[in-house]
Amino acid sequence: MDHTTAAAASAKAQMIEKISTATAVTAGGSTLYFGLTANEIAAFVGAGVAVLSLIVQIFYKHQHFKLAKATAEAVINIKGEAEGE
């Protein structure tokens, strides 16, 4: 690795470190400012995950019902054609 590439990698690493430090300080400060504890934040995150999982479950149940309906209609059509012959 030449000097230019090493300098660019070092600059990138320093930038990433600054961003992560700023993010941690901002998150800690906002938590302190709003007075939320780790347990309260975990409760809010858990509630959000529960709502998202409910939405996903409803979506896939709807897809399952559409597939089951199409399968049932196909079976009825096949039986009707067999009886008509």
Q: Is the dihedral of CA 6, 9, 14, 15 positive or negative?
A: positive
- Tokens 């990433």 belong to 16
pLDDT digits (tens, 9 = 90+) for 22-79: 888 888 887 777 787 788 888 988 999 999 999 999 999 999 999 999 999 988 888 8
Q: Are 65 and 57 in contact (CB under 8 A)?
A: no
Domain boundary assignment for the chain: 1-35, 37-85
* pTM beyond 0.75, yes or no: no
